[in-house]
Chains A and B, each alone.
Chain A
């Protein structure tokens, strides 16, 4: 085999007393697609930052293109052809596609004046190299996440990248866009450009990786040909324990006579049509469907954020009108959004404040002040119950990992003592270990009598938690399954089943 583009040997890195990386070695060869897998806090990002020259290792050697670097700077790393695509893509939303692609070239060549024809030429060349067509004079802010990512890749290629490091590149992509991205990665490979794909979405890793590297607690625990490594093996190495989903104890849901929530013929223009279902006590009801199937709109309608146009909603047998979030909360309905960072949390505020914010009315004294002692008692109780890992509830939420942030959102809604809890993609962006714990928590909550609606397109997740699963397509509930009647493979096929195929089948 040819020389590796990058070879790091016995790299260690400490931050204060914490060992982030412990004697990690890694080589990446030209044209290789390597996946770096690990839970949050495992040391993945530290490793990336060392390779790109942002951090200096405490011990160990870095060779780029067989040249030893004692002190690697970001400029050295870029010069040796290493490009990192961060999650924000480093783009300017207010500038055109062409300018965004060409801007680094402009700066690298220290040009003082802009030749717009040249900018367009460079941009076109960049897009051609990854076989992509995008409108050059469109503003980046008008493009989808997937297109922005392609622009970032085009930029990296123009900088003569030999290794492109992609940090969690599929977080905000739809299934289709992920497939398109994989095509680009394979295309790059054919031209000898390597990809280091950093992710914790194991099904994607399985699909794209040629070699899989797993790190846990700063140590490399696996580094081998990706063939023959299944998801269970990866999970085992990531978490260090077996995650068993086969024999989960489900408590039986309550009786159907007086359901907790009943929805009849609910419709919302541009959202969903004629939706009817019931949710029992102790039940976890899954609602699945592709993006645009109406699943999120349905959740928002039940939570009063996008009130339905027509139809009826019953809570414990009594008809209610939910036209605002306040009315939903009054009817003891809680909602945990899919974008927890934007919709569910005040990142700069303390964990305590975030937890008590939805029950603040109950904590005020007669003269309208909040007793900080009661406040801390209430929130500490939830921090313990939800096992939120933090030295103090007074720290801002942004100091927590993704999984722990999600627990804060859950705690915030559980503090309102809801009878009905709607969870929208509760484990999006959460690593495997925390995911299992959140699933456990969901089952536990159902055991305690809460009715839970779980909206997700993560099929294993539905099987981990749900009694029943409803499938939505183009705004309608098209099928209903009992969990025990089907398997994951079957549901996956039904989920991605296109409408045309569905029609063809029904006409047969």
Chain B
């Protein structure tokens, strides 16, 4: 009885629905072009998901707390690009770790600046992020540099080619799963643990549910905002650096068109735009759905312009599921009230 209850709950969960969408998409695409069902496609899809996963994991706590932020992409671009230009000037030829450390530190500071403005002056999160989005990209282009840079330090050459494991693909030969998959996985686990097992993490949900009550209950709302914006800054910087080394060049306006794609993935993953809900598993599936669609459209020969259209349609369909459910529940509620007293 209890078991059945659990199963029912799983089936009704957003994560399950998005999983079905992913499954359905994959099967459909595979039926049209069997090339989809190859190891190399799988590895490629995962590789192109890595950076989006890291960005989404960093943004998720803010969305759960009821905020919408778009400045994370600008923080990613500025911290990674500025770190690179700085190290280039110093003649650095070491490994990638120093990139993560410097950019990560700068990212945290940038995130804390958002948190400071939001908590100190009671500004709306979206307004602050809109300003920061423009400001950081502007800063990057004006003070740091306006052109893409392709000269990587010696110690980082070959990083794009380090695999967790490799496999033989019948069509393309040897293919590998990039090591940074583990990075994304690790960061995802950290956020999962933070949201589920720390009082601060539960406070994030509490703020998203009812900020006033969260204050009244004794949550340190200010501290929570500093923590989640710090996480956002750190994760964005990591994503920016990772993206640069996977594609082997630094771009001062990287991700500038993509903040809404990341937000879309989080919403697809079951987070409410008004806050209070959202999960790591859902976010992961949301990112994968969008990546699979991108890949699918290439494989099935549908023009690239359709990508966005299709993502939009899926988003509408997906977000209307809970609304339809509510409608049905309401109707049933009415009936049961009448039949109960009959």
Question: What is the CA–CA distance of A113 and B199 in the complex, to the nearest angstrom?
Answer: 5
Interface contact B199-A94, CB-CB below 8 Å = no
Interface contact B197-A114, CB-CB below 8 Å = yes
A104-131 at interface with B (beta carbon < 8 Å): 104, 106-108, 111-114
A474 at the interface (CB under 8 A from B): yes
Cross-interface CB contact of B209 among A92, A113, A292, A475, cutoff 8 Å: A92
Closest to B276 in A: A94
B185-217 at interface with A (beta carbon < 8 Å): 196-202, 205-206, 208-210, 213-214, 216-217
Interface contact B205-A113, CB-CB below 8 Å = no
Interface contact A270-B208, CB-CB below 8 Å = no
Interface contact B196-A92, CB-CB below 8 Å = no
Interface contact B342-A474, CB-CB below 8 Å = yes
Question: What is the CA–CA distance of A270 and B338 in the complex, to the nearest angstrom?
Answer: 7
B171 at the interface (CB under 8 A from A): no
Interface contact A499-B337, CB-CB below 8 Å = no
**Shortest distance in angstroms between B269's beta carbon and chain A's nearest beta carbon?**
16
A252 at the interface (CB under 8 A from B): no
Interface contact A113-B338, CB-CB below 8 Å = no
Contact code string B257-281 (vs A, CB < 8 Å = 1, else 0): 0000000000000000000110000
Interface contact B342-A271, CB-CB below 8 Å = no
A91 at the interface (CB under 8 A from B): yes
Closest to A499 in B: B341
Interface contact A107-B199, CB-CB below 8 Å = yes
B8 at the interface (CB under 8 A from A): no
Contacts A95-B206, A112-B199, A114-B198; A107 near B217 (Cβ below 8 A): yes
Task: Find chain B residues with CB under 8 A from A290 CB.
Answer: 341
Interface contact B341-A270, CB-CB below 8 Å = no
Interface contact B198-A90, CB-CB below 8 Å = no
Interface contact B205-A474, CB-CB below 8 Å = no
Q: How large is the interface on A (under 10, 10 to 19, 20 to 34, 35 or more residues)?
A: 20 to 34
B4 at the interface (CB under 8 A from A): no
Question: What is the CA–CA distance of A111 and B197 in the complex, to the nearest angstrom?
Answer: 11
Interface contact A92-B210, CB-CB below 8 Å = yes
Closest to B213 in A: A90
A103 at the interface (CB under 8 A from B): yes
**Shortest distance in angstroms between A123's beta carbon and chain B's nearest beta carbon?**
14
Task: Find chain B residues with CB under 8 A from A271 CB.
Answer: 334
**How many interface contacts (CB-CB < 8 Å) are there between A and B?**
72
A473 at the interface (CB under 8 A from B): yes
Interface contact A292-B210, CB-CB below 8 Å = no
Cross-interface CB contact of A103 among B197, B202, B341, cutoff 8 Å: B202
**Shortest distance in angstroms between A27's beta carbon and chain B's nearest beta carbon?**
28
B219 at the interface (CB under 8 A from A): yes
Task: Find chain B residues with CB under 8 A from A93 CB.
Answer: 209-210, 276
Task: Find chain B residues with CB under 8 A from A107 CB.
Answer: 199, 217-219
Interface contact A292-B205, CB-CB below 8 Å = no
Cross-interface CB contact of B338 among A103, A111, A112, A475, cutoff 8 Å: A475
Interface contact A270-B334, CB-CB below 8 Å = yes
A167 at the interface (CB under 8 A from B): no
Which among A103, A137, A294 has the highest number of chain B CB atoms within 10 Å?
A: A103
A88 at the interface (CB under 8 A from B): yes
Task: Find chain B residues with CB under 8 A from A112 CB.
Answer: 198-200
Closest to B340 in A: A292
Which among B200, B337, B340 has the highest number of chain A CB atoms within 10 Å?
A: B337
A235 at the interface (CB under 8 A from B): no
Task: Find chain B residues with CB under 8 A from A474 CB.
Answer: 338, 341-342
B120 at the interface (CB under 8 A from A): no
B335 at the interface (CB under 8 A from A): yes
B122 at the interface (CB under 8 A from A): no
Task: Find chain A residues with CB under 8 A from B328 CB.
Answer: none
A58-78 at interface with B (beta carbon < 8 Å): none
B89 at the interface (CB under 8 A from A): no
A99 at the interface (CB under 8 A from B): yes
Question: What is the CA–CA distance of A466 and B217 in the complex, to the nearest angstrom?
Answer: 47
Contacts A90-B216, A114-B196; A270 near B335 (Cβ below 8 A): yes
Interface contact B342-A499, CB-CB below 8 Å = yes
30 sample A-B contacts, Cβ–Cβ < 8 Å, listed by A number: A91-B210, A92-B206, A92-B213, A93-B276, A94-B208, A94-B277, A95-B202, A95-B209, A103-B202, A103-B206, A103-B217, A104-B217, A104-B218, A106-B199, A112-B198, A112-B199, A113-B198, A114-B196, A114-B197, A114-B198, A114-B199, A137-B9, A270-B331, A290-B341, A292-B337, A294-B338, A473-B341, A474-B338, A498-B341, A499-B341
- Other than the given A95-B205, A104-B217, A106-B202, 8 more pairs (CB < 8 A) read A92-B206, A92-B213, A99-B202, A106-B199, A114-B198, A114-B202, A292-B338, A292-B340
Instruction: Point out residues on B near A: beta carbons under 8 Å.
Output: 9, 196-202, 205-206, 208-210, 213-214, 216-219, 276-277, 331, 334-335, 337-338, 340-342
Instruction: Point out residues on A near B: beta carbons under 8 Å.
Output: 88, 90-95, 99, 103-104, 106-108, 111-114, 137, 270-271, 290, 292-294, 473-475, 498-499
**Top 8 A-B residue pairs of the complex, sorted by shortest distance between their CB atoms:** A94-B276, A92-B209, A270-B334, A292-B337, A94-B209, A107-B218, A90-B213, A474-B341
